[in-house]
C-alpha cells in the first residue's frame, strides 16, 4: 500500500531532501526511520527536492509498503514515527493513497514562504530560520514589495528567476498568488505556483528586496520577467529564510 506522509522539518542540519550516500538528508533519515517502524525497506518519494538549509512546514512524501508491512493504524503513524526520527523532523499526518498517486507529478500547486528579518542586529532565536537583512529598507518596504510582486502573478516565462546553469527547457510557470506582509521586523513573502524553477523563490526574494529599498517597482519587475535573463534579477537569497509551506493535490 502507498501512504502519503506530511512532514515538518528544520532544514538547518540537513543537506536537503534528496538522498546522498555520505550526507545527512531528509529522505535518507526518513527512509531509515520508516524501515525501523514498518520492519521493511520501502521506497520514499518526495514532492520536491528542497536544498540544503531549506525548511518545510508541510512536505509531502509517499512510502510504499508491501501489503503485509503496515499493521499500524494510519492515525497513529505520526506518533509511532516519533521515536525513530531525530528532533528536526516530524510526521504530521498519514493517509492512504492509490498506487497510481505520485507525490511530485500530482501536485496542483505548492506554497512557499520566505522570511526576511529586517533589523540591524541578528536575533539568536532566528539564526538559520530567516534571511537577516541589515541593509536599509524603506519604512513602507513591505507595501512596495507587495505591489511589485503582483507583476509575478499569472503564467510567465520565469527564466530570469532560475539559477544559471539549470537544464530545464520549459521555464513557463503559473504563479497563483504572491503577497508580501510585515509583522514586527519580519517581512514574509508568500508565493504559490503550479511549479517552481531551481532557486526561483530565493531569486524572487532577492529581487523583491530591491523594491523594499526603493530601487525597483512593478514596471521594473515586468521588465525583468520579459528579459528572460537571470542577470536582470536580484541576488539569490540564502536558503535559511525559505519554507515549503503547503502542498496541494
Closer residue to its own copies in complex, CB, 81/161: 81
| Minimum separation from the CB atom of position 123 to its own copies (A) | 7
Output the smallest distance, CB 177 to its own copies, in A: 24
How is residue 115 written as a grid cell?
Answer: 522570511
Active site residue 140: no
- Measured CA to CA in angstroms, residue 212 lies from 6, 143, 196, 241 at distances of 34, 8, 23, 17
83 vs 100, beta carbon nearer its own copies:
83
CB of 90 to its own copies, least distance (A): 5
Looking at the Cβ atoms of 112 and 158, the one nearer to its own copies is 112
Q: What residues make contact with its own copies under the rule CB under 8 A? A: 8-10, 55, 78-79, 82, 87-92, 120-125, 127-129
Q: CA-to-CA distance for 78 and 6, rounded, in angstroms?
A: 9
Pick from 237, 247, 165: which is nearest to 201 by CA? Answer: 237
Question: CA-to-CA distance for 120 and 134, rounded, in angstroms?
Answer: 5
Distance CA 86, CA 221 (A): 42
**Selected catalytic residue, list 43, 51, 58, 157:** 51
Active site (catalytic) residues: 51
Amino acid at each position: 500500500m502507498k501512504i502519503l506522509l506530511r512532514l515538518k522539518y528544520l532544514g538547518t542540519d540537513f543537506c536537503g531532501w534528496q538522498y546522498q550516500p555520505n550526507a545527512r538528508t531528509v529522505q535518507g533519515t526518513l527512509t531509515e526511520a520508516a524501515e525501523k517502524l514498518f520492519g521493511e525497506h520501502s521506497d520514499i518519494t518526495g514532492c520536491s527536492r528542497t536544498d540544503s538549509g531549506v525548511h518545510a512546514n508541510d512536505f509531502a512524501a509517499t512510502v510504499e509498503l508491501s501489503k503485509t508491512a503496515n499493521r499500524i493504524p494510519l492515525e497513529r503513524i505520526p506518533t509511532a514515527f516519533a521515536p525513530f526520527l531525530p528532533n528536526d523532523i516530524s510526521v504530521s499526518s498519514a493517509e492512504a493513497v492509490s498506487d497510481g498517486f505520485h507525490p511530485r507529478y500530482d501536485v496542483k500547486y505548492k506554497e512557499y514562504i520566505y522570511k526576511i528579518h529586517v533589523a540591524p542586529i541578528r536575533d539568536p532565536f532566528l539564526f538559520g530560520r530567516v534571511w537577516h537583512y541589515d541593509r536599509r529598507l524603506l519604512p513602507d518596504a513591505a507595501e512596495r514589495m507587495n505591489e511589485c510582486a503582483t507583476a509575478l502573478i499569472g503564467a510567465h516565462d520565469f527564466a530570469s528567476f532560475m539559477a544559471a546553469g539549470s537544464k530545464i527547457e520549459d521555464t513557463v510557470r503559473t504563479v497563483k498568488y504572491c503577497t508580501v506582509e510585515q509583522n514586527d521586523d519580519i517581512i514574509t513573502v508568500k508565493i504559490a505556483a503550479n511549479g517552481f524553477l531551481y532557486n526561483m523563490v530565493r531569486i524572487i526574494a532577492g529581487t523583491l528586496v530591491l523594491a523594499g529599498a526603493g530601487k525597483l517597482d512593478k514596471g521594473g519587475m515586468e521588465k525583468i520577467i520579459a528579459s528572460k535573463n537571470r542577470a536582470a534579477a536580484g541576488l539569490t537569497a540564502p536558503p535559511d529564510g525559505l519554507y515549503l509551506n503547503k502542498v496541494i493535490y
